[in-house]
Amino acid sequence: MKKRHLFSLLGASALSLVIGGCSQEQATTETQQVVQAKPAKSYQWKLVTTWPKNFPGLGEGPERFAKEVERMSDGRLTVKVYGAGELVPALEVFDAVSQGTAEAGHGAAYYWKGKVPAAQFFSTVPFGLNAQELNSWVTYGGGLELWKELYEPFGVIPALGGNTGVQMGGWFNKEINSIDDLKGLKMRIPGLGGEVLERAGGTPVQLPGGEIFTALQTGTIDATEWVGPYNDLAFGLHKAAKFYYYPGWHEPGTALEFTFNKKAFEELPKDLQAIVEVAARMVNQDMLDEYTARNNAALEELVGKHGVQVRRYPDDVLQALRTIADSTIKEIAEKDASVKKVYDSFEKFRANVQKYHEISEKAYINTRS
């Protein structure tokens, strides 16, 4: 009995020493890990835009992006947003991102047509894809791969960054009753829509948003398009023109874009890269939701409070513009291999989606109406 008791005491002591040793070793390891652990590296980005700071819809998109990136990264990546002209001029956003002046940008691809002609297809095409269709082409129809290929030589990565939906047709101080009424007209209208207007006898003028009202009011331009009721009301365009035309044949679903400096993006850890991509997709959908919710109330105010006269383009004017648009876009594509590559993908997708929408989206809207 005495031997068993002594053996038991010795065993207990040995076990205690082993446990104590393990606990001490574990504590030492944990202490070393704490000492060796380094705080997560933080990153600060600049984002430049083509829009006035905090402008409704367009300008709020990059602000939401910055807020979501900071929230999802728990402050490891912060983004400071600069409005048009604060860091670089409105129409130099692409160059600023390409050169690394800013790590990110927010604008519209058709503003860079002089540098990348095919980029226009990733913004809007007259009589082309609407917002839902363009999102689908870019995301699931091969568009994104072509877009990245176009921007690769400039060290820029593109991403969808919002959509206005179908825009309005423009502000005029005279009625448009025939295609001849567009001849000699100086109109602020960018991208391929401007090319079509020029072939119809007008003079397209490219101006950033912040300069449109003054140009229209002073007669520097005769007409303008901007976006739609929500933004046009904010700019006060009803004070400078009285006829408001629809539909927006030139911009049936205008996509905005985020651009990221490739080197800056690739320097981010994988999780922060994913956060940037997810935040961009969120803004892309969120902006379209906002325009859909706010445009009609703004239109009612323009008509009911400010006496704006809403006009529909005559069918023969729309048909003439459609004919010009088709031939213009095809001709531009034939002159440039990179444009042709994007054009072929775009046209194939448009033909396919249009077939289905005849018996789905369009059929339902016609029935509902």
User: Could you list the mean pLDDT of each consecutive 10-residue stretch along the chain, which spans 369 residues?
Assistant: 44 44 52 58 97 95 98 98 97 98 98 96 98 98 98 98 98 97 97 97 95 96 97 97 97 98 98 98 98 98 98 98 97 96 98 97 95
Q: Name the residue with tokens 């009911």.
A: 304
SS (H, E, C) 147-182: HHHHHHHHCEEEEEEEECCCCCCEEECCCCCCHHHH
Residue 270, C-beta contacts closer than 8 angstroms, at least 6 positions apart: none
Other beta carbons within 10 angstroms of residue 340's beta carbon come to: 15
Q: Name the residue with tokens 């990348």.
A: 116
Q: Name the residue with tokens 């050169």.
A: 99
* Residues 61, 347: Cα–Cα separation, whole Å: 29
Other beta carbons within 10 angstroms of residue 354's beta carbon come to: 13
Residue 110, C-beta contacts closer than 8 angstroms, at least 6 positions apart: 119, 120, 123, 124, 190, 191, 192
Q: Is 365 exposed, middle or buried (0-12, 13-18, 19+ CB in 10 A)?
A: exposed
Mark out the alpha helices in 305-336 (DSSP H runs). 315-335
Q: Kindly provide the b/e burial profile for residues 171-195, where b requires at least 16 CB atoms within 10 angstroms of the residue's own CB.
A: bbeeebeebebbeebbbbbbbbbbb
Output the CA torsion sign for 3, 6, 8, 14.
negative
DSSP 226: -
Relative to beta strand 255-261, strand 104-107 is antiparallel
Amino acid at 200: A
Q: Model's pTM, two decimal places?
A: 0.88
| Domains and their CATH numbers in the chain | 43-165+253-292 (3.40.190.170)
Spatial CA neighbour of 313 closest among 264, 221, 245, 244: 245
* Residues 213, 263: Cα–Cα separation, whole Å: 38
Residue 314, C-beta contacts closer than 8 angstroms, at least 6 positions apart: 176, 177, 178
CA distances from 28 to 14, 16, 31 (A): 21, 18, 5
For residue 183, the model assigns a pLDDT of 97
